[in-house]
Structure 1
Amino acid sequence: MPATDHSADLALLLEAARAAAEIACAFRAPEVWDKPNDGGPVCEADLAVDAMLRERLGAARPAYGWLSEETADAPERLAAERIFIVDPIDGTRAYLEGSRDWAHSLAVAEQGRITAACVLLPQRNLLYTATAGGGARLNGAPIRASGETDPACATLLGPRLAMSPEHWSGGEVPPLRRAFRSALAWRLCLLAEARFDAMLTIRPTWEWDIAAGSLILTEAGGIATDRRGAALTFNKPHPQSDGVLAGGALHPVLLGLLDPAAA
């Protein structure tokens, strides 16, 4: 198979993300139901965006595999050299509440590595993009992750669970300020533009939540791993990572403070 033009893949993702925004923003009171096994809410807009993305992206790149939060998984994707990894609406709860803090998160992975990515927050007019080796941008301008290394001067994006003593060596929680944003993809992008210094999730994390944002952060000079420091890989048979630790220069500092034996 010929080498991929990552910029062409990114252009395709951008077109699809903008079409997704048109669909999502057109809904006023979408029907909502709960996913099985406490999987959270899903709504008509999620499925409408997912169907459009699968049709549009699949028609443009029929050899690429497909992994999406709103499509039943199929083993055929594992044989694909390249794959789309998509979260049609990242932050469905925020979307349903009328918040602006939701995103379309689209990525291409090649042999387990993300090569093109975009995260679009249509109601905030924020468009984050990256290609492997091509740097990261916000609305077309280059961005760079934080250089902060002192936890006492840093802010961590994450749920309350991330600050529980049992996850930190000796039960000593570092003196971090904590903030929260609904969409995981946006959290990674906020790190990429140095609005925050680090991010931590403890629970297993789905690939579609972090695929696009992880490339945007790393291309901005940051680091994204699982919570124990292992490299993130994509298109795995079970598409989850063991949580996520991400940040700029603070990442290795926090990795040294986390308890590697924590459950």
Structure 2
Amino acid sequence: MLDWGQDLELILDAARQAGEIAHGFFGRSPEVWWKNEGRSPVSAADFAANDRLQSLLLTARPNYGWLSEETDDDVARLDRETLFVVDPIDGTRAFINGEKTWCVSVAVVHRGQPVAGVLVAPALDEEFCAVKDGPALKNGRPISVTGERANGELVIAADENLVKKFEPGFRDEVRRVRHVPSLAYRLAMIADGSIDGTVVKRASHDWDLAAADLILERAGGCLVDLAGNRLVYNRESVVHEMLAAGAEHALRSLLPQLAGLAPG
């Protein structure tokens, strides 16, 4: 398939339906369990949204592979050229705490690269989407990353302890924003120019990144490893080391500061 527009329509409709289901649980104290040795929460809303996405998407594209945070991994995905990469609720901690910055993240990945991606944030009434070779859109309108600010300030989302390790002169130019638990939404904030960049701690996963990566790219930004390389998705391991994302000017400033830091 050379035109991924039909897939974009499919995943946007599915993400809207999943978002509506999740939003029905929002603010109503859904049942919560803990996984990864008690480090990561998952709620009844995550599972319900995941079930809807899996049913809709794999019924429509039975030949596609499947990778979701809330589904046991099936290595059969490695034999598929094209697959869905899904996080039914990115920002579950925010969701269960009643914060609005969570979203349904769905991407179509083809030969290791996202070709269609959507983020639906029902509590904020926001939708981001992009398709390969098309514009990045927020609520149907084109968006783009920031240019350099006249005052030289760099607005980023990053851990405070990490920022303290930056060189003093550079640190004085950085303005940190309040932590945003949803990594996908944080990348979307770069895409729409709300912030200039972010640092992604090690142990993010394909499902946190794939849809937002494409949206950011089509908005003129980039998500890279510390060597400046773009990510490859649907590998045997779907876990990533420390990453940086931003507009070109932000990455130009951030990457040298991160180069000497141990991942963490």
TM-score band by shorter chain is over 0.9
SS at match of 2:253: helix
SS at match of 2:114: strand
Greater shift, 135-144 or 20-29, is seen at 20-29
| Structure 1 residue matching 2:105: 3-state secondary structure | strand
**Separation (CA, whole Å) in 2 of partners of 1:22 and 1:170:** 46
Q: What's the Cα RMSD here?
A: 2.0
Paired letter, 1:13: I
Partner of 1:215: 214
Contact 2:226 2:259 in 1 (8 A): no
Q: Percent sequence identity over matched residues? A: 38
Corresponding pairs, count: 259
Q: Take 2:159 and 2:168, find their aligned partners in 1: how far apart are those partners?
A: 20
Amino acid at match of 1:104: V
2: CA distance between counterparts of 1:44 and 1:32? Answer: 6
1:72 partnered with 2:60: no
Alignment partner of 1:135: what SS? coil
Question: 1:206-229: CA deviations, max 9, x gaps?
Answer: 111111111001100111112332
- Provide the residue aligned with 2:127 in structure 1: 127
Cα deviation for residue 203 of structure 1 reads 1.9
1:22-53 superposed Cα distances (whole Å, 9 cap, x missing partner): 21111223111111324311111101111111
Provide the secondary structure at the position in 1 that maps to 2:123.
coil
* Contact 2:34–2:40 (CA under 8 A) maintained in structure 1: yes
Q: Which amino acid aligns with 2:22?
A: A
Partner of 1:24: 22
SS in 2 for 1:231: coil
Question: Are the equivalent residues in 2 in contact too, given 1:169–1:258 (CA < 8 A)?
Answer: no
Q: Does 1:63 align with 2:63?
A: yes
- Tell me, in whole angstroms, the C-alpha distance in 1 between the residues paired with 2:89 and 2:176: 24
Give the Å deviation of 1:5.
2.7
Aligned to 2:146: 146
In structure 2, the CA distance between the partners of 1:252 and 1:148, relative to structure 1 (3 Å rule), is same
- TM-score normalised by L of structure 2: 0.92
Unaligned segments of structure 2, at least 5 residues:
none
TM-superposed CA distance for 1:251, in Å, is: 1.1
For 1:29 and 1:220, the matched residues in 2 are separated by 36
Partner of 1:176: 174
Q: Deviations over 1:187-209 (max 9, x none)?
A: 11110111100010232211111
* Deviation digits for residues 58-90 of structure 1 (CA, Å, limit 9, x no counterpart): 011111111111111110000100010000001
Name the amino acid aligned to 1:6: W
Corresponding residue SS for 1:34: strand
1:178-217 correspondence runs (5 A): 178-179=176-177, 180-217=179-216
The answer to whether the aligner puts 1:41 opposite 2:41 as a matched pair is yes
Q: Using structure 1 for the length normalisation, give the TM-score.
A: 0.92
2:8: which partner in 1?
10
Which AA in structure 2 matches 1:37? E
Shift of 1:172: 6.9
Letter in 2 for 1:47: F
- Deviation, 1:149, is 6.7
Deviations 1:143-199 (CA, angstroms, capped at 9, x unpaired): 11111278951111123343241xx57997463111121111111111011110001
Structure 1 stretches lacking a partner, 5+ long: none
Q: Which moved more, 1:84-93 or 1:146-155?
A: 146-155
User: Bigger shift: 240-249 or 98-107?
Assistant: 240-249
List aligned pairs for 1:209-248, cutoff 5 A.
Answer: 209-248=208-247
* Separation in structure 2 between the aligned mates of residue 53 and residue 192 of structure 1, nearest angstrom: 25
CA offsets, 1:80-109, max 9 Å, x none?
Answer: 000100000011111111111110011010
Residues 66 and 150 (structure 1), Cα distance of their counterparts in 2 relative to 1, 3 Å cut: farther
Matched, 1:255 2:258: no
